[in-house]
Chain A
Amino acid sequence: MSDALSDHGSDIQQDDSQEEDVMTPAELIAKLEEAWLNEKFSPELLENKSEVVECVMEQLTHMESNLQRVKKGDVKASVHRMEIDRIRYVLCSYLRARLQKIERFFPHVLEKEKSRAEGEPSLLSPEEYAFAKEYYANTETYLKTVALKRMPANLQTVDLLKAVPEPCVDSFVFLRVKERQENILVEPETDDQREYVVDLEEGSQHLMRYRTIAPLVSSGAVQLI
């Protein structure tokens, strides 16, 4: 067995300029899985995690290139190959979930990006932003050429922001609490009910409206399940 695969437990160094400490590859994969489930279950697009995506890509590429040097049919190689397949699945599924939301809500996603305050983190990675802009232009051009420009003069535009459905942040979601939270306000469902507050104990699971806990998803205090 070659030693090509033996240098792998080592930590990956985050960008030097960042104050964040070293994250082990295992922690990195856990981060990716969290982001994956959150993105899968949240009704709206979440903040991008491109640094996690890029680090995972690096890990995969590095491992793949090491595997090239290992002879076929080797048990060790097949274990690595299986792990790569699993990680790549989560990575692709995560990116797909985001892209689907970008396509589904493209006018709203772009609007949010436009009105973003300086210093506020961007929802979209630069590549996603480029994709969303192209998607918008492409779709707008299409509607124009095929129908709108053949319509009466006062009907040649469609406001895509109004025409394309918005994400429904009032949807219910299932969640698990990672860091204890106090006094989370639960809004009433009907007029004859009253609002109340709940404490979210660490490890407990809940069903409630996404709107109520959206900031806790971003901060990592709760995990959508």
Chain B
Amino acid sequence: MFGEKAVELIRELHRMSDGQLPAFNEDGLRQVLQEMEALYDQNQTDVNEAKAEGRAELIPSIKLRHCCLLRNQRCLAAYLYDRLLRIRALRWEYGSVLPPNVRFHMCAEELQWFAQYKKSLASFMRSFGGGEGLDITQDMKPPKSLYIEVRCLKDHGEFEIDDGTVVLLKKNSQHFLPRWKCEQLIRQGVLEHVVS
């Protein structure tokens, strides 16, 4: 049935839990576009025939095909837009560098959209405090206590705290760090909050 393939694309996203990004379905997209082309061509032929030969009985099928075209367009837009929202959420979760397995699931145009989104967000955040900037992707949770104890899950190298001290984040080392400084590293799986 017409529109079936387009709905399947949407189901594919729907089946994934929130925040997960399945591989970009280029094949599915192409199939829908092919179906649209076929519908459109058929309509062009019928429209011409209806006009030239006055065959009014063709009009209902023309209308039906047009509805199918609109539906396909709408489904594709929904598929693509929902993926953008998921990609946007990844920027907030992982920071500006996405893990390779996530990038692998994105198409070239999505990578471009993401690069531009990062740029817009960065210049937005830089604008605060007379150009000094404010990273609003930090401080995601209300501050609880000044410092928390963290364990390092992988080698990360040197890490500067805002009072200027530098700590070396080595695998399995434990540190007492300002909570808000390590939030993102915890989300990235570099650090683990040691709950005493």
A interface with B by C-beta (< 8 Å): 53-54, 57-58, 60-61, 64, 67-68, 72, 78, 81-82, 85-86, 88-89, 91-93, 95-96, 99, 103, 127-128, 130-131, 134-135, 138-139, 141-143, 145-147, 150-152, 154-155, 158, 163-164
Q: Tell whether, in the assembled complex, residue B136 and residue A95 are in contact, meaning their CB atoms are under 8 Å apart.
A: yes
Cβ contact of B77, chosen from A58, A82, A143, cutoff 8 A: A143
Task: Contacts A89-B143, A139-B84 known; list 9 others, CB within 8 Å.
Answer: A54-B130, A57-B134, A72-B165, A89-B142, A92-B134, A135-B120, A141-B113, A146-B29, A158-B73
CA distance A151 to B36 in the complex (A): 7
B113 touches A150 (CB 8 A): no
The minimal Cβ–Cβ distance linking B159 to chain A, given in whole angstroms, is 16
Within 8 A of A (CB), among B124-180: 124, 127-130, 132, 134-136, 138-139, 141-143, 146, 162-165, 178-180
Give me 30 A-to-B residue pairs in the complex whose CB atoms sit less than 8 angstroms apart, sorted by A's number.
A54-B128, A57-B129, A57-B130, A57-B132, A61-B129, A67-B163, A78-B146, A85-B146, A85-B178, A88-B134, A89-B180, A95-B134, A131-B121, A131-B123, A138-B113, A138-B116, A138-B117, A142-B80, A142-B84, A142-B110, A143-B81, A146-B110, A147-B76, A147-B77, A151-B36, A154-B40, A155-B40, A155-B69, A163-B81, A164-B81
Find out whether the CB atom of B139 lies under 8 angstroms from the CB atom of A82: no
Q: Does B109 contact A (CB under 8 A)?
A: yes
- With a CB–CB cut-off of 8 A, which chain B residues contact A88? 134, 139, 180
The answer on a CB contact under 8 Å between A143 and B80 is yes
Asked whether A61 lies within 8 Å of B107 as measured between CB atoms, the reply is no
- Contact assessment for B146 and A152 in the assembled complex, using a CB-CB cutoff below 8 Å: no
Give the chain A neighbours of B80 by CB distance below 8 A: 142-143, 146-147
Please give, as numbers and ranges, the residues of chain B lying within 8 Å of A130 by CB-CB distance. 120, 123-124
Q: Residues of A contacting B135 with CB < 8 Å?
A: 92
- Cβ of A61 and Cβ of B120 under 8 Å apart? no
A58: chain B residues within 8 A (beta carbon)? 129
Nearest Cβ distance between residue A76 and chain B, in whole angstroms? 13
Any chain A CB within 8 A of the CB of B88? yes
CB distance from B129 to the nearest CB of A (A): 4
Chain B residues whose CB sits within 8 angstroms of the CB of A99 once the complex forms? 124, 136
Q: Which of B69, B77, B117, B128 is close to A53, meaning CB atoms less than 8 Å apart?
A: B128
A89 touches B84 (CB 8 A): no
Q: What separation, in Å, do the CA atoms of A46 and B73 have in the docked complex? A: 33
Query: Contact at A89–B139, with CB atoms within 8 Å?
Result: yes
For the complex, give the distance between the alpha carbons of A146 and B76 in Å: 10
Complex: how many Å from CA A81 to CA B162?
Answer: 11
Across the A-B interface, give the 3 residue pairs with the lowest CB-CB distance, nearest first: A152-B40, A57-B129, A85-B143
Q: Does B70 contact A (CB under 8 A)?
A: yes
- The residues of B that contact A158 with a CB separation of less than 8 Å are 73, 77
- Cα distance, A147 to B141, chains bound together (Å): 38
Closest to B40 in A: A152
Say yes or no: is B33 at the interface (Cβ < 8 Å to chain A). yes
Question: Per-position contact with A for B26-42: 1 when CB-CB < 8 Å, else 0?
Answer: 00010001001101100
Contact A131 B124 (CB under 8 A): yes
- Judge whether B112 is part of the interface by a CB distance below 8 angstroms: yes
| CB-contacts of B89-111 with A (<8 A) | 107, 109-110
A152 adjacent to B69 (CB under 8 Å): yes
Contact (Cβ within 8 A) B113 A139: yes
Residues in B neighbouring A96, C-beta threshold 8 A: 136
Q: What's the Cα separation between A78 and B146 when bound, in Å?
A: 8
Contact of B143 among A86, A95, A103 (CB under 8 A): A86
